[in-house]
Amino acid sequence: MIINLNTKNSTITDSFGLFSIEAKLKDSLRISAVQYLPKEILITENVLSAKLIVVDLIENIIDLKEVTVTPYNLTGDINLDIDRLALKKAVTSASLGLPNASLNKMTQSERLLLEADRGKYVSLQTMDEYGRLNEILSYVGLSVKVNTHKIMNKVSGRTKYLEEMVERDENMKLEKEIINKFSKRTIAESFDIPKSKVNGFLTYCLSQPDFNELSNAGSMDQIWAYLERNSVAFKELQSPKE
Protein backbone atom coordinates (compact mmCIF):
# COMPACT_ATOMS: atom_id res chain seq x y z
CA MET A 1 0.00 0.00 0.00
CA ILE A 2 1.16 3.54 -0.78
CA ILE A 3 0.09 6.44 1.49
CA ASN A 4 0.78 10.14 1.08
CA LEU A 5 1.52 11.03 4.71
CA ASN A 6 0.71 14.71 4.10
CA THR A 7 -2.63 14.41 2.28
CA LYS A 8 -3.56 10.97 3.68
CA ASN A 9 -4.46 9.80 0.16
CA SER A 10 -3.63 6.17 -0.53
CA THR A 11 -3.53 3.65 -3.36
CA ILE A 12 -2.32 0.13 -4.11
CA THR A 13 -0.14 -1.35 -6.85
CA ASP A 14 -1.38 -3.41 -9.78
CA SER A 15 -0.26 -6.97 -10.49
CA PHE A 16 3.04 -5.66 -11.91
CA GLY A 17 3.82 -3.49 -8.89
CA LEU A 18 3.03 -0.21 -10.68
CA PHE A 19 1.13 2.64 -9.03
CA SER A 20 0.36 6.35 -9.36
CA ILE A 21 -0.56 8.86 -6.64
CA GLU A 22 -0.90 12.65 -6.41
CA ALA A 23 1.93 14.36 -4.55
CA LYS A 24 3.64 17.75 -4.39
CA LEU A 25 7.06 18.96 -3.42
CA LYS A 26 8.18 17.90 0.10
CA ASP A 27 5.33 15.39 0.51
CA SER A 28 6.29 12.04 2.01
CA LEU A 29 5.12 8.70 0.63
CA ARG A 30 5.04 5.60 2.79
CA ILE A 31 5.23 2.27 0.93
CA SER A 32 4.47 -0.98 2.72
CA ALA A 33 3.84 -4.55 1.66
CA VAL A 34 3.51 -7.96 3.26
CA GLN A 35 6.90 -9.59 3.90
CA TYR A 36 8.76 -6.31 3.18
CA LEU A 37 10.03 -3.56 5.44
CA PRO A 38 8.10 -0.24 5.05
CA LYS A 39 9.90 2.58 3.25
CA GLU A 40 9.34 6.35 3.09
CA ILE A 41 10.20 8.54 0.11
CA LEU A 42 10.50 12.33 0.23
CA ILE A 43 9.19 14.07 -2.89
CA THR A 44 12.06 16.19 -4.19
CA GLU A 45 12.58 18.19 -7.39
CA ASN A 46 14.32 15.21 -8.95
CA VAL A 47 11.42 12.89 -8.09
CA LEU A 48 8.87 15.31 -9.55
CA SER A 49 10.85 15.76 -12.78
CA ALA A 50 11.31 12.01 -13.26
CA LYS A 51 8.61 10.23 -15.26
CA LEU A 52 9.18 6.95 -13.44
CA ILE A 53 10.89 6.03 -10.16
CA VAL A 54 11.88 2.58 -8.97
CA VAL A 55 11.34 1.76 -5.32
CA ASP A 56 13.41 -1.09 -3.90
CA LEU A 57 11.97 -2.78 -0.83
CA ILE A 58 13.93 -4.90 1.63
CA GLU A 59 12.50 -8.31 2.47
CA ASN A 60 11.43 -8.64 6.09
CA ILE A 61 12.98 -11.89 7.29
CA ILE A 62 11.65 -13.24 10.59
CA ASP A 63 14.11 -15.68 12.12
CA LEU A 64 12.46 -17.90 14.72
CA LYS A 65 14.71 -20.21 16.70
CA GLU A 66 12.04 -22.55 18.07
CA VAL A 67 8.26 -22.75 17.79
CA THR A 68 5.95 -24.98 19.80
CA VAL A 69 2.44 -25.52 18.53
CA THR A 70 -0.14 -26.13 21.25
CA PRO A 71 -2.21 -27.93 22.50
CA TYR A 72 -0.32 -30.92 21.10
CA ASN A 73 3.23 -29.54 21.64
CA LEU A 74 4.26 -30.41 18.09
CA THR A 75 7.97 -30.50 17.39
CA GLY A 76 8.05 -30.58 13.60
CA ASP A 77 9.40 -34.13 13.61
CA ILE A 78 6.61 -36.10 11.97
CA ASN A 79 7.74 -39.38 13.53
CA LEU A 80 7.31 -37.92 17.02
CA ASP A 81 4.25 -35.79 16.33
CA ILE A 82 2.20 -38.59 14.77
CA ASP A 83 2.26 -40.45 18.10
CA ARG A 84 1.49 -37.35 20.16
CA LEU A 85 -1.63 -36.49 18.18
CA ALA A 86 -3.26 -39.85 18.86
CA LEU A 87 -5.78 -39.27 16.08
CA LYS A 88 -8.66 -41.66 15.65
CA LYS A 89 -8.53 -43.83 12.57
CA ALA A 90 -10.90 -42.88 9.79
CA VAL A 91 -13.96 -45.07 9.50
CA THR A 92 -14.02 -46.74 6.10
CA SER A 93 -15.78 -49.70 4.53
CA ALA A 94 -12.54 -51.68 4.95
CA SER A 95 -12.20 -50.84 8.67
CA LEU A 96 -15.80 -51.93 9.20
CA GLY A 97 -15.12 -55.23 7.47
CA LEU A 98 -17.83 -54.74 4.86
CA PRO A 99 -17.88 -57.20 1.94
CA ASN A 100 -16.17 -56.11 -1.29
CA ALA A 101 -14.53 -53.20 0.53
CA SER A 102 -11.31 -53.71 -1.41
CA LEU A 103 -13.00 -53.36 -4.80
CA ASN A 104 -12.34 -50.16 -6.74
CA LYS A 105 -15.37 -48.01 -7.51
CA MET A 106 -16.34 -48.33 -11.16
CA THR A 107 -16.75 -45.29 -13.37
CA GLN A 108 -19.91 -44.63 -15.37
CA SER A 109 -18.25 -45.78 -18.61
CA GLU A 110 -17.00 -48.98 -16.93
CA ARG A 111 -20.51 -49.80 -15.69
CA LEU A 112 -21.98 -49.21 -19.15
CA LEU A 113 -19.34 -51.44 -20.75
CA LEU A 114 -20.01 -54.20 -18.21
CA GLU A 115 -23.74 -54.04 -18.96
CA ALA A 116 -23.20 -54.04 -22.74
CA ASP A 117 -20.66 -56.88 -22.80
CA ARG A 118 -21.98 -59.07 -19.99
CA GLY A 119 -22.03 -62.88 -20.35
CA LYS A 120 -21.11 -65.26 -23.17
CA TYR A 121 -22.33 -65.04 -26.75
CA VAL A 122 -23.77 -68.59 -26.60
CA SER A 123 -24.40 -70.80 -23.56
CA LEU A 124 -25.84 -74.26 -23.03
CA GLN A 125 -28.60 -74.81 -20.49
CA THR A 126 -30.52 -77.85 -19.25
CA MET A 127 -34.12 -78.06 -20.42
CA ASP A 128 -36.41 -77.18 -17.50
CA GLU A 129 -39.60 -78.59 -19.02
CA TYR A 130 -38.28 -82.03 -19.94
CA GLY A 131 -35.43 -82.29 -17.47
CA ARG A 132 -37.04 -84.89 -15.20
CA LEU A 133 -38.22 -87.11 -18.08
CA ASN A 134 -34.80 -87.08 -19.74
CA GLU A 135 -33.17 -87.88 -16.42
CA ILE A 136 -35.34 -91.00 -16.08
CA LEU A 137 -34.53 -92.09 -19.63
CA SER A 138 -30.81 -91.43 -19.01
CA TYR A 139 -30.71 -88.69 -21.60
CA VAL A 140 -29.21 -85.23 -21.13
CA GLY A 141 -31.55 -82.53 -22.35
CA LEU A 142 -29.83 -79.26 -23.32
CA SER A 143 -30.95 -75.98 -24.82
CA VAL A 144 -28.89 -73.30 -26.54
CA LYS A 145 -29.19 -69.70 -25.27
CA VAL A 146 -28.01 -66.90 -27.58
CA ASN A 147 -27.01 -63.60 -25.92
CA THR A 148 -28.61 -61.27 -28.49
CA HIS A 149 -27.96 -58.21 -26.28
CA LYS A 150 -24.20 -58.78 -26.32
CA ILE A 151 -24.18 -59.59 -30.04
CA MET A 152 -26.18 -56.47 -31.00
CA ASN A 153 -23.86 -54.21 -28.96
CA LYS A 154 -20.85 -55.78 -30.66
CA VAL A 155 -22.30 -55.50 -34.18
CA SER A 156 -23.56 -51.93 -33.71
CA GLY A 157 -20.17 -50.76 -32.43
CA ARG A 158 -21.51 -49.76 -29.00
CA THR A 159 -19.13 -52.13 -27.21
CA LYS A 160 -16.11 -50.72 -29.03
CA TYR A 161 -17.28 -47.16 -28.32
CA LEU A 162 -17.60 -47.92 -24.60
CA GLU A 163 -14.17 -49.59 -24.56
CA GLU A 164 -12.66 -46.45 -26.06
CA MET A 165 -14.54 -44.33 -23.49
CA VAL A 166 -13.10 -46.40 -20.62
CA GLU A 167 -9.58 -46.03 -22.04
CA ARG A 168 -10.10 -42.28 -22.51
CA ASP A 169 -11.24 -41.90 -18.90
CA GLU A 170 -8.17 -43.78 -17.67
CA ASN A 171 -5.89 -41.57 -19.78
CA MET A 172 -7.53 -38.40 -18.50
CA LYS A 173 -7.11 -39.61 -14.91
CA LEU A 174 -3.44 -40.31 -15.55
CA GLU A 175 -3.01 -36.87 -17.15
CA LYS A 176 -4.42 -35.21 -14.01
CA GLU A 177 -2.04 -37.23 -11.84
CA ILE A 178 0.90 -36.06 -13.97
CA ILE A 179 -0.14 -32.39 -13.67
CA ASN A 180 -0.68 -32.72 -9.91
CA LYS A 181 2.73 -34.35 -9.50
CA PHE A 182 4.90 -32.18 -11.74
CA SER A 183 2.83 -29.02 -12.50
CA LYS A 184 2.62 -27.37 -15.92
CA ARG A 185 5.32 -24.87 -15.01
CA THR A 186 7.81 -27.64 -14.20
CA ILE A 187 7.01 -29.43 -17.46
CA ALA A 188 7.43 -26.21 -19.47
CA GLU A 189 10.76 -25.27 -17.90
CA SER A 190 12.24 -28.79 -17.90
CA PHE A 191 11.41 -29.62 -21.53
CA ASP A 192 11.81 -26.09 -22.93
CA ILE A 193 8.17 -25.93 -24.01
CA PRO A 194 6.23 -22.62 -23.83
CA LYS A 195 3.78 -22.74 -20.94
CA SER A 196 0.97 -21.86 -23.35
CA LYS A 197 1.67 -25.10 -25.25
CA VAL A 198 1.88 -27.49 -22.29
CA ASN A 199 -1.79 -28.50 -22.71
CA GLY A 200 -1.09 -29.28 -26.35
CA PHE A 201 1.94 -31.34 -25.35
CA LEU A 202 -0.10 -33.37 -22.85
CA THR A 203 -2.80 -33.91 -25.47
CA TYR A 204 -0.10 -35.12 -27.86
CA CYS A 205 1.16 -37.60 -25.24
CA LEU A 206 -2.40 -38.73 -24.51
CA SER A 207 -2.95 -39.52 -28.19
CA GLN A 208 0.04 -41.89 -28.33
CA PRO A 209 -0.88 -45.61 -28.44
CA ASP A 210 1.40 -46.45 -25.51
CA PHE A 211 0.20 -43.67 -23.18
CA ASN A 212 -2.23 -45.91 -21.28
CA GLU A 213 0.67 -48.23 -20.46
CA LEU A 214 1.96 -45.55 -18.07
CA SER A 215 -0.72 -46.58 -15.59
CA ASN A 216 1.37 -49.72 -15.01
CA ALA A 217 4.59 -47.75 -14.55
CA GLY A 218 6.42 -48.64 -11.37
CA SER A 219 7.50 -45.11 -10.51
CA MET A 220 7.17 -41.46 -11.46
CA ASP A 221 10.70 -41.65 -12.89
CA GLN A 222 9.38 -43.86 -15.69
CA ILE A 223 6.55 -41.42 -16.39
CA TRP A 224 9.00 -38.49 -16.44
CA ALA A 225 11.26 -40.37 -18.89
CA TYR A 226 8.23 -40.99 -21.12
CA LEU A 227 7.33 -37.28 -21.12
CA GLU A 228 10.93 -36.35 -21.87
CA ARG A 229 11.07 -38.68 -24.89
CA ASN A 230 7.81 -37.39 -26.32
CA SER A 231 8.77 -33.74 -25.73
CA VAL A 232 11.46 -34.10 -28.40
CA ALA A 233 8.97 -35.33 -31.00
CA PHE A 234 6.41 -32.70 -29.96
CA LYS A 235 8.89 -29.83 -30.38
CA GLU A 236 9.87 -31.16 -33.81
CA LEU A 237 6.23 -31.03 -34.87
CA GLN A 238 5.92 -27.47 -33.54
CA SER A 239 9.05 -26.17 -35.28
CA PRO A 240 8.44 -24.47 -38.66
CA LYS A 241 9.24 -26.53 -41.71
CA GLU A 242 12.04 -25.19 -43.92
Q: Would you write out the chain's pLDDT as a tens digit for each of its 242 residues?
A: 899 999 988 888 877 778 888 889 999 999 988 778 889 989 998 888 887 788 888 877 766 666 666 655 666 666 666 666 666 666 676 667 776 666 677 788 888 888 888 888 887 665 554 444 444 444 555 566 788 888 998 899 989 988 888 888 888 888 888 888 888 888 888 889 988 888 888 888 888 888 877 777 767 788 888 888 899 989 888 776 54
pLDDT of residue 219: 73
Going along 55-212, which residue ranges are E strands? 122-126, 142-146
Q: Long-range CB contacts (< 8 A, 24+ apart) of 102-110? A: 107/166, 107/169, 109/162, 109/165, 109/166, 109/168, 109/169, 110/166, 110/169
Q: Provide the greatest CA pair distance for the chain.
A: 121
pLDDT of residue 67: 62
Please indicate, yes or no, whether the overall pTM of this predicted structure exceeds 0.75: no
H or E element that contains 86:
none
pLDDT of residue 133: 45
* Residue 218 burial (C-beta neighbours within 10 Å; 0-12, 13-18, 19+): exposed
Report the alpha-carbon distance of residue 87 to residue 75 in Å, rounded: 16
Per-residue DSSP letter, 208: S
Going along 65-214, which residue ranges are E strands? 122-126, 142-146
